[in-house]
Amino acid sequence: MMLDWTLLAPDEDSRDLARTARALFRTLPGAGAARAALDDGVARAALDKDAPAGDGTPVAPPAWFALVDAGYLDIAVPEDLGGLGRMIDLVVVLEEAGRSLLTAPLLPAVLAVQTQVAAGIHRPEARSAPAGFAVASGTVADGRCFADRVPVLGGVGAATLTAILRAPDRAWVVTLDAAADGVEVRQTEALIDPSRPVAVVRLAGAPSQDSQALTPADVEPVLARARVCAAADLVGIAAGALEAAVAHAVQRQQFGALIGSFQAVKHQLADAYLGVERARSLTYGAAVAVDHTGRAGGATTDGAPQLSTRDSLLAYAAAAEVAVQVAGRFIQVLGAMGVTFEADGHLYLRRAHQMTSLFGAPDDHFLAAARLERATARMKKEARTVREATR
Amino acid sequence: MTADVVAEFGAFLDDFLPQDYDENYQRYRRDVTLRREYQAAAFDEGWLIPEWGRDEGGRNLDGPQALAVKLLGAQRRVPRLLNIQGAGVAAPAIRAFGTPEQRERLLRPAARGDEWWALGMSEPGAGSDLASLRTTATLVDDVFIVNGQKVWTTQADEARWCTLYVRTDPQAPRHRGISCLILDLSSPGVHVRPIRTAGPAIESFCEVFLDDVRVPRESLLGPLNGGWGVAVASLEHERDMIWINTWLETNRALDPALRASEITEAQLVKLGRSLADAEGLRLTGLRTAAQRWAGISSPAWLTLKLLGSESVQRAALLSLEVAGQQALIDPAIFDERLESLGATIYGGTSEIQRDIIAERALGLPKGRS
């Protein structure tokens, strides 16, 4: 299979989209709000604090509606479901969101929507309200969901929850009304990044709205779309931290010279740049592969789902690894300022570790990709043996 | 249509390569006759440098088509050229900077592999700091009299020609007093001495002593005192395309880990990281090429040499680890590991690559303190 690699260079439309997104995100709460949330707590960050007190239903912050109006939730959703555009378009928008430390719940909603699309249970109306997303251990029986601890990204203020619940021998993609009976919120405070909060919930027989059962082998292909989106966010986090580190290195002087002229500093930043570009290439490549596979992760004859699954694993692993590395390096380049509350270093680091803690360490994903590639190599070898035997 | 062109190249490979090429690749990759014949056959059919014009031995393919052909070649693991820098570095330099006479005489044999080339750049006192080179050439009655010494000159003992970088204006600022000469290595006063390498290297490398060597004025490549431009263009060309070869080498080095019946989890993690290296390299090469064709400038291509050489190294190290005790009695595995350590030195060390990335991609100030 050969992909059209001109797709790897975002076209004029994608670049316009990225520019518009960057300009919009600059006007929405970002680093300042992320810092404030550490003092003010989760509720103020995730909900509209100025909304009139009513029946207790959470009211989404104005920034959410700006994202809906911009159409970002519709990107990479199939046209018959009211969507438009390709995964690469969504990737460039999410990268800008990561870079700007956007606090509005774009990523969790996108992860929910894309997982619904992959599982074949998406409804267009799900895109109009904030949605939480989770992957956790749990079961579904007779349309009721059971799980002890489900860390839901974007869970505070969400109208719906989308979760992949995994049992040893099977799994489910479910959507739930966040206010349904049996959805019990266990914890929303004391988070490493309250600006994009995680709510830990218990599912005690909560009824699913829609659900799709999966075999264990289906889980990774269904997750591929969400994983590419997570990778895009992480590439943005890393790129934002690198830009900020470079900005500091070209204005801070020591020993009578800009610190960016010292090889000990510039080589660290060059390595960071290489890592960001490597992860970005993998993420764009996985986005193109996911579009090629189509909406479902089901088996096809050309091995495309396997390829996009592997690519999404590699993209996530590389992006997660580089986001953690570069955020740490940014703190180092800032010197003592790097460990202060006022500097932005910890904000990037919080985001990076929020993602790796939620969705898994890079090494686990490298390992899964390696297993998949070895299985593919074995299959190819067997196919060749059969071909030769029958020649 | 790109697909048609690629299919035609595939048919050429089916026709040329032995039936058992894939299964016995390890043997064939050391087959000197096959490698020589492949280069000549691929050039004669216009596949070796397909972006060149038909009158130069190419197929006049556009950038995307030519890249598709080269990628298929790497995927099929076509035989490695015996004298890579001839077709890969010297020929493009002659094509870009040569006089009509030089192109007529030298281009085709260099590309076809009939005449081998060496690159006379490094000197004992000028390694990474190429601009400090001290080999001199003095023009006397339309003949350059050359004196000095080159070192680490790959295949100088087997090559016919050498692009020799010399100082022609000692008064000028260091970058502006260098010229590139085309040296016939059989000239009187040239003494080549091979240097023994730590392991059985694929290509030899040598010292070249130059003692009152006479080089005719017509053998100047590019402008007098314009040699720095020739060197930079040559190295950029190399950095721009070498990733395809490095991608092939990385994949090749990963074969044992992909096929080993026993492998630890720690090794699987490393394998995954190496897969990300290989895919990251391929996708960065493709992405930056696509960007260039679309008229968007991105400095990401500057990372290709650094990423590629480190990818090969990590893959070779993994291969040795996966071999376990077998590595003790199969020196070829260690030799590849040793050979891979050269990748971050030749063609511009990783330290120089990081300087280039930091200064040109990130805009950090010059300085090496």
Concatenating the DSSP letter of every residue in A288-322 gives HHHHHH-S-----TTSHHHHHHHHHHHHHHHHHHH
Closest residue, chain A, to B369 (C-alpha): A262
A285 vs B6, B269, B279: nearest CB? B279
In chain B, list all ranges with CATH 2.40.110.10.
117-225
The string of pLDDT tens digits covering residues B64-94 is 899 999 999 999 999 999 999 999 999 999 9
Give residue B111's pLDDT. 97
Give the β-pairing of B117-120 and B136-140. unpaired
Is B250's Cβ below 8 Å from some Cβ in A?
Answer: no
ipTM: 0.94
In chain B, list all ranges with CATH 1.20.140.10.
229-361
Nearest Cα of chain A lies from the Cα of B189 at a distance, in angstroms, of: 41
Give residue B326's pLDDT. 94
Q: Which three-class secondary structure state does DSSP give residue A101?
A: coil
The string of pLDDT tens digits covering residues A208-227 is 999 999 999 999 999 999 99
Which chain A residues have a beta carbon less than 8 Å from that of B270?
Answer: 366
The per-residue pLDDT string of chain B (369 residues; one tens digit each, 9 = 90 and over) reads: 788 999 999 999 999 999 999 889 888 988 999 999 999 999 999 999 999 999 999 999 998 899 999 999 999 999 999 999 999 999 999 999 999 999 999 999 999 999 999 999 999 999 989 999 999 999 999 999 999 999 999 999 999 999 999 999 999 999 999 999 999 999 999 999 999 999 887 889 999 999 999 999 999 999 999 999 999 988 777 766 789 999 999 999 999 999 999 999 999 999 999 999 999 999 999 999 999 888 888 899 999 999 999 999 999 999 999 999 999 999 999 999 999 999 999 888 999 999 999 999 999 999 888
**Interchain contact, B275 vs A257, CB within 8 Å:** no
Whether pLDDT at A31 is above 80: yes
Cα–Cα nearest to A230, from A157, A292, A286: A286
Which chain B residues have a beta carbon less than 8 Å from that of A366?
Answer: 268-273, 275-276
Q: Which of B123, B207, B238, B321 is catalytic?
A: B238
**Interchain contact, B283 vs A282, CB within 8 Å:** yes
B contact residues 168-207, partner A, Cβ 8 Å cutoff: none
The number of C-alpha atoms within 13 Å of B231 and in the hemisphere containing its C-beta is 25
Residue A103: which region, alpha, beta or left (left: phi > 0; alpha: psi -120 to 50)? alpha
- Report the top-level CATH class of B229-361: mainly alpha
**Rounded mean pLDDT, A32-41:** 88
Give residue A1's pLDDT. 44
**DSSP, res B78:** P
At which residue do the structure tokens 């009655």 appear?
Answer: B141
Whether pLDDT at A280 is above 80: yes
**DSSP, res B127:** S
Give residue A18's pLDDT. 96
- Grade residue A299 by pLDDT with cuts at 50, 70 and 90: very low
Closest residue, chain B, to A244 (C-alpha): B362
Give the whole-angstrom CA distance, residue A46 versus residue A61: 7
Which chain A residues have a beta carbon less than 8 Å from that of B3?
Answer: 2
B367 vs A257, A270, A273: nearest CB? A257
Q: Which domains does chain A have, with CATH numbers?
A: 216-389 (1.20.140.10)
B275 vs A258, A262, A369: nearest CB? A369
**Interchain contact, B362 vs A368, CB within 8 Å:** no
Give the whole-angstrom CA distance, residue B369 versus residue B361: 19
Average pLDDT, chain B: 94
| B238 labelled catalytic | yes
The string of pLDDT tens digits covering residues B20-65 is 998 898 889 889 999 999 999 999 999 999 999 999 999 999 988 9
B contact residues 98-117, partner A, Cβ 8 Å cutoff: none
**Rounded mean pLDDT, A245-256:** 97
Which chain B residues have a beta carbon less than 8 Å from that of A260?
Answer: 358, 364-365
Nearest Cα of chain A lies from the Cα of B147 at a distance, in angstroms, of: 35
CATH no. for B117-225:
2.40.110.10
Whether pLDDT at A300 is above 70: no
Give the whole-angstrom CA distance, residue A165 versus residue A20: 36
Give residue A236's pLDDT. 98
Give residue B176's pLDDT. 95
Nearest Cα of chain B lies from the Cα of A348 at a distance, in angstroms, of: 19
The CA-CA-CA angle for residues A218, A4, B77, to 5°, reads 90
Give the whole-angstrom CA distance, residue A217 versus residue A321: 25
